[in-house]
A and B are shown apart, each in its own frame.
Chain A
């Protein structure tokens, strides 16, 4: 399950940082890129913390 989450995150990131999704936000591309970048890092962080907790419990 955890392994799948990393793949899911990776492909989610790929989607967010590529065309055509970036094309939708072409009017405010700079804020879009930085906000999505930060959110993506936060998602990795949260997943890593939960994953560590999960492993600790096991």
Chain B
């Protein structure tokens, strides 16, 4: 056992190391020598998929249900084979339309609907909270196992939640940047992926070759024990092939549509070439981290462990065998698995909440001075709020469920987005009303068949009266809806959820009309590779127009200040720049003088451009093309459903051809005051 203060100190130093790693990566990126923009870091960052569920929960699942834990990793492996077709298209569309969250993506596809964006955000926050709780529960439980003092774990959980929230704020919301790219954070996540893999391999080697004589020895002993059924599937085991198929499908959807996966795979993607490498590097990572799950699970049972405590075999085996240092390494590995998830997920959720729920409410204040400060601090509060929401779930409800149970609920929740996204990518007929109807139907099924039984079991809602009548009913029983019996709860919920979701999505889409905006977006998304740009290019004609555009991003007062500053610096007045000023050089300005005067601004822009030089995407005249050049961050960003883009179609990336971008760059603002997102 370790004293509590030593464990807290270790956590503190580990987080300090993480800060240093992230800071180093960010500095390198600022210097134009990015160590993040490569396929290996990209693949490792995708391994944020492997949370404490993988680290602890997989062993627990293997000890209780045999091979079914593999579905959570085989699903993403299968899906990876389609990434070059599906993920590449999503990345392409996201870069082209400045989309930074999954809610923006769905909303953008269906005519930039704010209602749809808010609905997706709501589903994601409610659906992901158990998953966040899972991570914090794992941290608190392992902390109390190592310290031997269960009473201190809640305080430790609170302290760690705060630290993680602060980390996410520092590397995710230090400034407002609509690109939502965080090189430092991504590098830290990749670093954590390496740590958790090494820690798991170490404990796996210890159990397999230190305590037993290899895989054969463990499997041989298991076959003659009472746990022999754990090596089977289907008949004679407690996992049916239907459950296997359902879990595989759920994990295939989760790898695509979990908000954090969308963030690292889409938003943080630097080049399409990285996807191709990640298609096999990421599954290889999954393969490696799972090699020793069965030996640890079966070894733990053979050593006298119980199935009820199997979630923490990874930690308890080295501890009980007298290897506290190994147990400490395992604790750090598990901690890194949990922290990576909490940080990225809270960041992704906060961006969704900010764009879809908070910004529309705050937008009326955009004329206020210091508006960007208000939204930046609001975003920081939301990040910390998301982390603490998970903490509350872990403390009050988490005790009633295993790690895998909590994770699978979130997998089911994000599967609700699958029809709207996948059909939206390949079927132009889908419309906003259909998407809303499908998501509402899927979410209702999720609440009814998974959440209500879970809350009833935890005692949050009391069984009795009406609820008892519902549970006893042959038609409305949440675990056997409409009399459908014989399915495990995941298959049951998945069947009804997908069935009703698809039914309402397709039926409502077929019987209702698309608006013009929806039709335009449908064509843009479905024919993304085939069509030339559809919208009319917009070129600002004078300073007032530029000021109007800037105003939508940074507020009226800041926009005016920025424009006035630029004019003052260049000895210009508003009168001199009236009319079609940008179309021609102001009178009295030679080409050389004009270039000399704007040089400092351009050099600043160039400096910032170096930060994104490694980007493989470039927006030009409405088309994303892979070029060796760079993209200046000073150009305005747009998301599919942000109030900015809703209020003005002019802010579309398509609406900013390279010519107007050049003029926008002339009004480059100090970093951190440029955009609200």
| A46 to B569 CA separation, bound complex (whole angstroms) | 57
**Which residues 410-452 of B have a CB within 8 angstroms of A?**
none
Query: What is the predominant secondary structure among interface residues of chain A facing chain B?
Result: helix
Q: How big is the A interface, by class? A: 20 to 34
Nearest B residue to A40 by beta-carbon distance? B77
Q: A38-B287, A41-B284 are in contact. Are A13 and B279 (CB under 8 A)?
A: no
Contact at A6–B81, with CB atoms within 8 Å? yes
Q: Do A44 and B219 have beta carbons less than 8 Å apart?
A: no
With A and B bound together, what is the CA distance between A52 and B274 in angstroms?
Answer: 11
**Contact call A34/B291, Cβ cutoff below 8 A:** yes
Residue of B nearest to A23 (CB): B234
Collect the chain A residues with CB atoms within 8 Å of residue B70's CB: 33, 37
Does B85 sit at the interface, judged by CB under 8 A? yes
Q: Which of A6, A37, A40 contacts B84 (CB 8 A)?
A: A6
Indicate the member of B80, B248, B294 with the most A CB atoms within 10 Å: B80
Q: Which residues of chain A are near B248, meaning CB under 8 Å?
A: 17-18
Contact among B78, B84, B233, B284 with A29 in the assembled complex (CB-CB below 8 Å): B233
- The interface centre, meaning the residue of A9, A19, A37 with most chain B CB atoms within 10 A of its CB, is A37
Distance A45 CA – B241 CA, assembled complex (angstroms): 28
Q: How far is the CA of A14 from the CA of B287 in the complex (A)?
A: 17
Q: Smallest distance from the beta carbon of B58 to chain A beta carbons, Å?
A: 14
CB distance from B402 to the nearest CB of A (A): 22
- The distance in angstroms between the C-alpha atoms of A51 and B77, with both chains bound, is 19
Set of chain A residues within 8 Å of B77, measured between Cβ atoms: 13, 37, 40-41
Pick from B82, B233, B277, B283: contact of A26, CB below 8 A. B233
Is B85 within 8 A of A6, CB to CB?
yes
Considering the complex, give the chain B residue whose CB is closest to the CB of A2: B84
B67 interface hit (Cβ, 8 Å): yes
Query: In this complex, what residue of A is CB-closest to B70?
Result: A33
How many angstroms between the C-alpha atoms of A29 and B291 in the bound complex? Answer: 14
Interface mask (B61-102 → A, CB under 8 Å = 1, otherwise 0): 000000100100010011011101100000000000000000
For residue A11, give the distance in angstroms from its CB to the closest CB of chain B.
Answer: 9
Q: Which residues 26-58 in A have Cβ within 8 Å of B in the complex?
A: 26, 29-30, 33-34, 37-38, 40-42, 44-45, 48, 51-52
Contact with B along A9-25 (1 / 0, CB 8 A): 11001100111001100
Chain A residues whose C-beta falls within 8 Å of the C-beta of B276 in the assembled complex: 48, 51-52
> Which of B82, B291, B294 contacts A6 (CB under 8 A)?
B82
B232 within 8 A of A: yes
Q: Determine the residue in chain A with the shortest Cβ distance to B242.
A: A19
Inter-subunit contact B74/A17 (CB<8 Å): yes
Closest chain B residue to A3 by CB distance? B85
Q: Are A48 and B67 in contact (CB under 8 A)?
A: no
| Cβ-defined contact, A37 with B287, below 8 A | yes
Least Cβ–Cβ distance between A16 and chain B, in angstroms: 9
Q: Which of A22, A29, A42 is within 8 Å of B231, CB to CB?
A: A29
Beta-carbon nearest neighbor of B83 in chain A: A6
Q: Are B78 and A14 in contact (CB under 8 A)?
A: yes
A9 touching B81 in the complex, CB below 8 Å, given contacts A18-B241, A30-B67, A44-B279: yes
Give the CA-CA distance A30 to B237 in the complex, in Å. 14
- Measured in the bound complex, the distance between the Cα atoms of B291 and A34 in whole Å is 8
Complex CA distance for A23 and B235, rounded to whole angstroms:
10
Which residues from A are CB-within-8-Å of B495? none
Q: How far is the CA of A26 from the CA of B67 in the complex (A)?
A: 12
* Structural contact, B279 and A19, CB atoms closer than 8 A: no
The answer to whether B244 touches A19, judged by C-beta atoms less than 8 angstroms apart, is yes
A-facing mask of B221-263, CB < 8 A → 1, else 0?
0000000000111100000010011001000000000000000
Provide the bound-state CA to CA distance between A38 and B97, in Å: 37
A42–B81 CA distance with the chains assembled, in angstroms? 11
A41 B287 Cβ-Cβ under 8 A: yes
* Contact yes or no, A17 B233, CB < 8 A: no
Query: Which of B267-325 touch A at CB < 8 Å?
Result: 273, 276-277, 279-280, 283-284, 287, 291, 294
Q: How far is the CA of A44 from the CA of B286 in the complex (A)?
A: 14
- Minimum C-beta distance from B204 to chain A (A): 13
Q: Is the CB of B294 within 8 A of A30?
A: yes
* Of A10, A26, A30, the contact of B81 (CB 8 Å cutoff): A10
Q: Which of A10, A26, A40 lies in contact with B234, CB distance below 8 A?
A: A26
| Interchain CB contact (< 8 A) of A10 among B74, B82, B231, B294 | B82
> Chain B: which residue is nearest A30 at the CB level?
B231
Complex alpha-carbon distance, A23 and B276, angstroms: 32
Instruction: Say how far B455's CB is from chain A's closest CB, in angstroms.
Output: 33
Which residues on the B side are within 8 Å of A40 (C-beta)? 77, 81, 283
Nearest B residue to A8 by beta-carbon distance? B81
**Please, which residue of chain A has its CB at the minimum distance from the CB of B75?**
A17
Given that A29-B233, A33-B70 are known contacts, is A10 also in contact with B287, CB under 8 Å in the complex? no
Q: How far is the CB of B44 from chain A (nearest CB, A)?
A: 16
A-B pairs, 10 with minimum CB distance: A45-B280, A19-B241, A10-B81, A9-B81, A44-B280, A13-B78, A41-B283, A48-B276, A10-B82, A17-B74
Ordered by A's residue number, 28 sampled pairs between the chains whose C-beta atoms are within 8 Å are A6-B81, A7-B85, A10-B82, A13-B77, A13-B78, A13-B81, A17-B78, A17-B248, A18-B244, A18-B248, A19-B244, A19-B245, A23-B234, A29-B67, A29-B232, A30-B219, A30-B231, A30-B294, A33-B67, A33-B70, A33-B74, A34-B291, A40-B283, A44-B279, A44-B280, A48-B276, A48-B277, A52-B273
Known: A7-B85, A42-B280. 7 other contacts (CB 8 A): A2-B84, A22-B233, A41-B77, A44-B279, A44-B280, A48-B277, A52-B273
